[in-house]
Amino acid sequence: MQEKTRAEKIAEVLDNLGCPKYRLAQVYEAIYKKGFREYSAISTLPMAVRNRLRAELGEVLVLKNIHETKSRQALKILFETKDGYRIETVRMLFNPTEERPEEHESLCISSQCGCALGCSFCATGKIGFRKNLTPDEIADQVLYFRQIGDTIGSISLMGMGEPFANPHLFDALEILTSPKLMGISPRRLSVSTIGIVPGIQRLIKEYPNVNLSFSLHSPFPDQREKLMPIARTYPTDQVMKAVDQYVEKTNHKAFIAYILLKNENDSAEHAQALASLIKERGRKSYLYHVSLVRFNPGPAASQYEKPTLEAISKFRTILDRNGIKNTLRQCFGVEVKAACGQLYAAYARQ
């Protein structure tokens, strides 16, 4: 049976104490909106209630910050869960771009410790699967930043793990977006998936305003299966149909993530096939946006290399000529080991 969430436990404690209904709203407001770190500090509550919350629930956060790596544009935190698993969260500061002319912050959070899906270019995949994070462990990566007084622009579930492989993901989305709890607009949240079709379909039904990013990484099915074994279960055409449904129903942009690997998937032929795949989407193909990422080599995935700037530029020119919107994501990785799973791997070796 799934463990109760903190919000449920708080409600239970207050109920057992016979508190009037408005007390629950007070506690939720203090913990989730104002970022109180201790129940005992919520001065609007009677002392007996504060003491009981503290005695029964302990610390507010279920995660402990055990290591930080900083650069000018990125802060990467290694958190430890209460049962001793380590996960990564990265806060990034993006320079202004044509699309977003102001500097903005974004948080990249994890959904699992490790990952079972074994994509060949991914450092987290090399760790293997350790555990699905609980709803609180996912949401507390954001709550931590609220507690330290940071304003968080957008939040992407793009850290360790495949979000749709974790059955607790939707409960975490509830904590993050519920107006009673963290109250974050779903438009500021993104789920990044390697293409778990039932997960995409559930997102369309339950959280249609959450942004969706599909990691394609190759327009060619054979190559995609080699890079990402899950493509054997959910082939590209099936996933693209699910993404089409998302676009059709929501009229929101869908992001196609594409990690460029030198001499693997960065050729003109790949760019042209990617452009054709998007143009085939028909009248709403203008809502597909390719988000390119330059591979960041790490110790765990050494068979791949960073593509040249020239190859990236050629790739983008082909997309541009075909009218496919694309951006090259800024890369903060080398200084802070920000590629998925690398901080964890470095820390584990210490």
Binding site for ligand SF4 (CB under 6 A): 115, 117-119, 122, 124-125, 160-162, 194, 340
Reference 40, options 29, 32, 52; nearest CA is 52
CB of 111 to ligand SF4, least distance (A): 9
Cβ 349 to ligand SF4 shortest distance, Å? 19
Residue 340, CA distances (Å) to 12, 157, 295 in order: 37, 11, 11
> Whose Cβ is closer to ligand SF4: residue 117's or residue 191's?
117
Q: Minimum Å distance from CB 345 to ligand SF4?
A: 12
The SS3 of residue 201 is helix
- Minimum CB distance to ligand SF4 smaller for 115 or for 138: 115
Q: Identify the CA nearest to 173 among candidates 161, 189, 193, 158.
A: 189
Catalytic residue set: 88, 340
Q: Which amino acid is at 303?
A: Q
Q: For residue 267, give the nearest of 320, 317, 222 by alpha carbon.
A: 317
Residues 263, 308 contacting (CB under 8 angstroms): no
**Residues pairing with 260 in the sheet:** 294
DSSP state of 2: P
Tell the smallest beta-carbon distance from residue 263 to ligand SF4 (Å). 20
Q: Give the nearer residue to ligand SF4 in terms of CB position, either 33 or 329.
A: 329
Cβ-based nearer residue to ligand SF4, 60 or 162: 162
